[in-house]
């Protein structure tokens, strides 16, 4: 799973890394957001694919939280 940083200027200009653009994140990109997170949805992805992708992200977060606890 990729982890990175998007930079957004105060004027709203955003740099999308090459890795994401090469994976198809170009053109109009839909997103889902709440107060804590934003999910960018690659054009052409189905809601079933997005749901499975989010499940994978949640598993990755749980693994990362576990590794932080073990390193203390």
Q: What is the CA radius of gyration of the chain?
A: 14
**Both tokens of residue 43?**
């054009």
Q: Show me where the domains of the chain are located.
A: 7-71
Question: Of 43, 15, 18, which is closest to residue 31 (Cα–Cα)?
Answer: 43
**Both tokens of residue 24?**
């198809």
**pTM for the whole structure:** 0.79
The whole-angstrom separation of Cα 9 and Cα 7 is 7
Give the pLDDT of the chain (72 residues) as one tens digit per residue.
678 899 999 999 999 999 999 999 999 999 999 999 999 999 999 999 999 999 999 999 999 898 765 554
Question: Of 56, 29, 40, 30, which is closest to residue 4 (Cα–Cα)?
Answer: 40
DSSP state of 38: E
């Amino acid at each position: 799973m990729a982890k990175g940083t998007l930079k957004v200027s105060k004027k709203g200009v955003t740099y999308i890394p090459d890795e994401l653009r090469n994976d198809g994140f170009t053109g109009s990109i839909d997103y889902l957001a709440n107060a804590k997170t934003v999910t960018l949805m690659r054009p052409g992805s189905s809601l079933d694919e997005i749901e499975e992708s989010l499940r994978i992200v949640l598993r990755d977060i749980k693994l990362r939280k576990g590794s932080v606890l073990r390193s203390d």
